Amino acid sequence: LIASNHAQAPFFEPWPDSPVPLAYQIKGMGPVELVVHSLTEAQKTLIALFNYHEVYNNGKEALYQSVKGNQNGEILVTEKEEPKERPGRGSTHHLAIRVADHEELNYWHERITEHGYKVVARHDRYYFESLYFSDGNNIMFELATDGPGFTVDQTPEELGTQLDLPPFLEQRREEIFENLNPLAGIKKD
């Protein structure tokens, strides 16, 4: 994948120890694509709630940017009248948006409620906190904090070398490990 004009997204850093050569490492991601019943409802969420910037809108498709002029964080929304999606393989469960920390998550919890949406869940996942709500198109959004992050229980150099689990899953370590596809060099403990 190549970022716009072969530029690297500013917050993606190459991994020098990766078995994937630098020229082929992922350096950015393209826009998230959502298919919705109502473009107007999507605008309420993306523009009125999240302050996204509309790049274009032809009445049936619109492109939004979280930071004006920056292709990172784009969402492409297409309005189509199709049967409601059923959860399962190949479907999208939710769209995650990052927030800085606990305080910012609290801010968004309040803002989401003020805009008439209901927060359906809020969780401390040990590595991050998150909250979930659905918009007028029944798109599930997750807001997740950056921290404390995956380095809470190991150094950046150790990441990916062993199976780390949050405390609430430790009692299932054996079961989880046995159901993983084999990865070279990954230790159980």
Q: Where are the alpha helices (DSSP H) in 36-185?
A: 39-43, 102-114, 173-178
Residue 141 confidence (pLDDT) above 80: yes
User: Rounded to an integer, what distance in angstroms lies between the CA atom of residue 162 and that of residue 187?
Assistant: 4
DSSP structure class, residue 35: E
Query: Which position has the token pair 């084999």?
Result: 182
Average pLDDT, integer, range 46-66: 96
User: Rounded to an integer, what distance in angstroms lies between the CA atom of residue 77 and that of residue 146?
Assistant: 25
Residue 155 confidence (pLDDT) above 70: yes
User: Rounded to an integer, what distance in angstroms lies between the CA atom of residue 69 and that of residue 77?
Assistant: 17
User: Rounded to an integer, what distance in angstroms lies between the CA atom of residue 78 and that of residue 62?
Assistant: 7
Q: Residue 160's pLDDT is what?
A: 78
**In degrees rounded to 5, what are phi and psi of residue 22?**
-50, -40
Cα distances from 1 to residues 4, 22, 53, 75, in angstroms, run 10, 12, 24, 17
**How do 61-65 and 140-148 pair as beta strands?**
unpaired
Q: What share of the chain is helix, strand, coil (3-state, %, to 5)?
A: 25, 25, 50
User: Rounded to an integer, what distance in angstroms lies between the CA atom of residue 166 and that of residue 155?
Assistant: 15
Residue 9 confidence (pLDDT) above 70: no
Reply yes or no: is the peptide bond before residue 10 cis, omega within 30 of 0.
Answer: no
User: Rounded to an integer, what distance in angstroms lies between the CA atom of residue 64 and that of residue 137?
Assistant: 16
Query: Which position has the token pair 């989880």?
Result: 176
Asked whether 76 and 61 are in contact (CB, 8 A), the reply is yes
Instruction: Supply the mean pLDDT for the chain.
Output: 86
Answer whether 0.85 is exceeded by the pTM: no
Which tens digit of pLDDT belongs to each residue from 69-93?
Answer: 887 789 999 999 877 766 677 667 7
